[in-house]
Amino acid sequence: MAISTPTPSPYTILPATLADLADLARITVEAISPDPFWSTLKGSLTFQDQMDFFIENLRPRFLAAEELGAAQTWKLVDSDG
């Protein structure tokens, strides 16, 4: 049986920082927008309202995680650009 070399992943996992907060919020809003349950919950919130909601709810998690060293958030980055 031949041993094959695994194909390298085009993605890299890196620690996320507060500078990534807007991107993470945007990805979250875009990912849950098609969900009918979320559509009911968000009511008439605009895209920007949703972004603000997620940014304000994620920010304390980032700050507490950094201060306490209790948790870390990660991001998946396309290594090919």
Neighbours of 45 (CB within 10 A): 13
- Contact between 50 and 29 under an 8 Å Cβ cutoff? The reply is yes
What pLDDT, in 10s, does the model give residues 2-53? Answer: 778 877 788 888 888 888 999 999 999 999 999 999 888 888 999 999 999 9
What is the β-pairing status of strands 11-15 and 74-78? antiparallel
At residue 42, φ and ψ (nearest 5 deg) are -75, -20
Ordered by start, the domain boundaries in the chain are 11-78
| Location of structure tokens 């948790």 | 71
**What residue ranges in 1-81 does DSSP mark as E strands?**
11-15, 74-78
What pLDDT, in 10s, does the model give residues 47-71? Answer: 999 999 999 988 888 787 777 777 7
